[in-house]
Amino acid sequence: MQRDLSSNFYFIFKWVIIISFVFYAVFPFLWLVLASLKTNAELLDDPFKLPAVFQFQNYSNAIREAGLGKLIINSLVISTSATFLNILFSSMCAFAIARHTFWGKNVLFLMITAGILVPLNALIIPYFAIINFLNLYDTRLGLILVYCAVGLPVSTFILTEFFKSIPKEIEEASFLDGCNFAARYFRIMLPLALPGLATAGTFQFILCWNEFIYAMLLTSSTDIRTIQFGISYFTNQFFSDYVGMFAAVVISILPSITVFVLFQERVINGLTAGSVKG
Amino acid sequence: MQIKKDEVVWLLLFIAPAIILFFLFFIIPILFLFVTSFTNWDGISAEFVGLENYTKLFNKKSFVRAITNNLYWCLTAALITVPLALIIALLLAHRSRGWKVFRTVLFIPQVVSSAAIAMLWAAMFNAEYGLVNFLLDYIGFSDYKNHNWLGNVRTANAALIGFSLCYVGYFMVIMLAKTAGISEDYYDAANIDGASQFQKDLHITAPLIKSTFFLCIILAVIFNLRQFEYVYLMTAGGPANKTQVLVVYIWNELSVQRLGRGNAAGVIMIAIGAILLLSLRKLLKSETYN
């Protein structure tokens, strides 16, 4: 009898907590989507009332007037290139570290992965100076380099762990067959490591797509502005067109939510590989 | 695999890009930060000024306020967000009904950019059309009908920190992954002894995921030390510097070309991070072995 009571209590407690946090995490987004389909006048009314007419032109207005299309293309180009370079460089380094013994290997690995713990935003002024020194201020390449470097510790960590988990025999067989260093990496290890590359790559892409402070720090012209920095201008640009701003925010978050829902196992694996073991 | 002599060149080629990037964007910036923090560098010229930047910073009320606010964020995350995440992870453990759906849904705020989240919650807190005031009015707190949460000296910090609880899903997912690795044998044994769910959570699951719980606290502290977007986009440090945090402070120094002073603030930020990490490690390590 007593146990029934306590398990009932457990049941109620469990669902109250879970449902209230689901509400907390998701409800604002639903409100945002609904509000982005209203007129500015309707916004001041009851927030749960559906709009008289769904204002889809808020979206076309946001895309046209604010040049959202260009912002999205910039973000895509920068995020994809930075992810590609990041995965290439960190997998090369991870391959060298995970599959070989050489002097200073452990120090190198420790040093790079310790980078995860550095509060990088403290370095905005040095980053600004270095990018200016390299003559890369206000260029896509400058942002790509910074994003590539910022994600390096996490990617190298995830990929080193992954390469270590691949059986040694496969590589040794190819070694005896006369494959050299680069061939072993490109022909044998990379195909085997595809799941690991996808995990680290998804993680890195979301990081690049969502990045804000370096985009604001290192670019100034509208031609190469990324979407996250771009939407922060909307408050001024639209004056009091709140619904236009909401539509723009919805557009900016769709890609990362899509990537997450499609590759959620990868993202969560990356997260737990990169943190549970560390 | 042992490296053959003729493959040393390949090896160097493979680690070179990562090492170059690491030097360029980790080692050099940190050294640069440290050195220029003792100068009055303004982007054009720099003179050595000793500890002047540091003494000036610590005499600035808004800078001290930024440090305490950052610590306040870290403390909230460590004492409220992460323990709440632990509770949710325990509730969703053992593959209870719908755990995957809840995991996905609770994780969504983590994959959305902080800039978008900041704009979304600034709208939620808006005095005229925000949902927060509407809901408060709806449940009977009509005093708050036109309350400007982020613009009011008394409520700005509470509003900022209250919304940060939506990040509970991130830590929950990490701890949930750890519970999945616990052997079912323990629970079978407890079932034979007639243990309740709460007893099983308290005596089996909780001790086994202790190290992951501590790891989450460390992660939460790092994230809250380096956070920028929420404060910058929602309050810009205002009203009256009440919500100032370190990175926004550095940003403001950068925009008035006081680069040496800004870098001194950066050195202090890295030092605070190191002190917090080392003391947490020490504290949590002794806990784990007891």
* Candidates A9, A13, A21, A34, partner chain B, best to mutate (most B CBs within 10 A): A21
User: What is the structure's pLDDT at A273?
Assistant: 64
pLDDT at B235: 87
Cα–Cα distance for residue pair B279/B274, rounded to 1 Å: 8
Q: How confident is the model at residue B83 (pLDDT cuts 50, 70, 90)?
A: very high
Q: In chain B, what residues touch A152 (CB-CB under 8 Å)?
A: 18, 21-22, 25
Interface of A with B in 59-78 (CB under 8 A): none
Tell me the whole-structure pTM to 2 decimals: 0.89
Q: Which residues have a Cβ under 8 Å from the Cβ of A18 and sit 6 or more positions away? A: B88, B91, B92, B102
Where helices occur in A100-188 by DSSP H, the ranges are 105-114, 124-133, 140-150, 152-164, 168-176, 181-183
Chain B residue with minimum CA distance to A255? B112
Cα dihedral A54, A57, A59, A63, rounded to 10, equals: 180
Contacts of A156 in chain B (CB under 8 A): 18
* Neighbouring C-alpha atoms within 13 Å toward the C-beta of B284: 16
Q: Is the separation of the CB atoms in B212 and A276 below 8 Å? A: yes
Please report whether residue B84 resides in a domain: yes
Q: Which residues pair with B48 in a beta bridge?
A: B39
The torsion angles phi and psi of B98, rounded to 5 degrees, stand at 70, 15
Lowest mean pLDDT among A227-241, A248-262, B50-64, B118-132: A227-241
- Residue B38 belongs to a domain: no
Assess A276–B contact: CB distance below 8 Å, yes or no: yes
Structure tokens at A94: 């991870």
- B39 vs A267: which has the higher pLDDT: B39
- Residue A260: which of B135, B225, B169, B99 has the closest Cα? B169
Residue B247 pLDDT > 90, yes or no? yes
A2 in contact with chain B, both atoms CB, cutoff 8 A: no
List pLDDT tens digits, range A205-263.
Answer: 988 999 999 999 999 888 899 999 888 877 665 556 788 888 989 998 988 888 888 88
The verdict on A18 touching B (C-beta cutoff 8 Å) is: yes
Backbone angles phi, psi at B48, to 5 degrees: -70, 125
Q: Which one of A115, A148, A245 has the shortest CB-CB distance to B26? A: A115
| Phi/psi of residue A101, nearest 5 degrees | -115, 130
Cβ B124–A168 below 8 Å, yes or no?
A: no
- The helix/strand/coil state of B190 is helix
Residue numbers of A between 207 and 226 with CB closer than 8 Å to B: 209-213, 217
Distance from CA of A275 to the nearest CA of B (A): 8
Residues of B in contact with A247 (CB under 8 A): none
Nearest to A105 by CA among B12, B89, B46, B142: B12
Q: Single out the residue of B113, B187, B132, B175 nearest to residue A253, CA to CA.
A: B113
Does residue B197 have a pLDDT over 80? no
A122/B14 touch (CB, cutoff 8 Å), yes or no: no
Q: What is the pLDDT of residue B287?
A: 63
Task: Please state, in angstroms and rounded to a whole number, the distance separating the CA atoms of residues B261 and B37.
Answer: 6
Query: CA-CA distances (angstroms) from residue A55 to A230, A274, B31?
Result: 22, 43, 53
**Measured between beta carbons, which residues in chain A are less than 8 angstroms from residue B113?**
209-212, 228, 252-253, 256
A272 chain-B contacts, CB cut-off 8 A: 173-174, 177-178
- DSSP conformational letter for A120: G
- State the pLDDT at residue A20: 87
- Rounded mean pLDDT, B168-197: 85
Name the percent of chain A in helix, strand, coil, to the closest 5. Answer: 80, 0, 20
From the list B11, B129, B215, which residue is nearest A275 (CB)?
B215
A113 interface with B at CB cutoff 8 Å: no
- Nearest neighbour of B17 by CB, restricted to A89, A111, A168: A89
Specify the pLDDT at position B290. Answer: 42
Phi and psi, residue B209, nearest 5°: -105, 15
Nearest-by-Cβ selection for A125 from B3, B229, B263: B263
Distances (CA, A) of A127 to A77, A221, B24, B249: 21, 18, 9, 16
pLDDT at B288 over 70: no
Token readout for A208 is 């690049």
Q: Which member of B91, B269, B277 has the closest CB to residue A17?
A: B91
Q: Which of B48, B11, B238 is nearest to A103 (CA)?
A: B11
Going through A39-134 in order, the beta strands assigned E by DSSP cover none
Residues of chain B neighbouring A47 (CB-CB closer than 8 A) = 129, 131, 134
Class of domain A62-275: mainly alpha
**Which DSSP string corresponds to A168-221?**
HHHHHHHHHTT--HHHIIIIIIHHHTHHHHHHHHHHHHHHHHH--HHHHHH--S
Q: Which residues contact B117 (CB under 8 A, 6 or more apart)?
A: B109, B166, B229, B230
Tokens of B82: 């992460």
pLDDT < 70 positions in chain A: 1-6, 235-240, 273-278
Judging contacts by C-beta atoms under 8 Å, the chain A residues touching residue B84 are 21
Strand partners, B39: B48
Q: Where are the alpha helices (DSSP H) in B77-113?
A: 82-92, 99-111
- Shortest CB distance from A6 goes to which of B102, B198, B212? B198
CATH number of the domain residue B219 falls in: 1.10.3720.10
Question: How many Cα atoms within 13 Å fall on the side-chain side of residue B140?
Answer: 0
Tokens for A166, please give them: 């691949």
Q: How far is CA A96 from CA A182, A193, B1, B48, B284, in A?
A: 10, 14, 10, 43, 33
CB contact under 8 A, B22 and A149: yes
Cβ-proximal residues to B206 (8 Å cutoff; 6+ apart), any chain: B86, B90
Domain region containing B208: 54-289
Q: Is B18 close to A99, i.e. CB distance below 8 A?
A: no
How distant is the alpha carbon of residue B259 from its chain centre?
25
CB contact A91 to B (< 8 Å): no
Count of Cβ atoms closer than 10 Å to residue B165 Cβ: 17
Q: Above 80 in pLDDT, residue B224?
A: yes
User: B111 and A21: CB-CB below 8 Å?
Assistant: no
Shortest distance, CA B82 to any CA of chain A (angstroms): 13
Work out the angle at residue A262's Cα, subtended by the Cα atoms of residues B224 and B95, and round it to the nearest 5 degrees.
75
Total tally of structural domains belonging to chain B: 1
Residue of B nearest to A228 (CA): B115
Residue of chain B nearest A126, judged by CA positions: B29
User: Are B166 and A28 in contact (CB < 8 Å)?
Assistant: yes
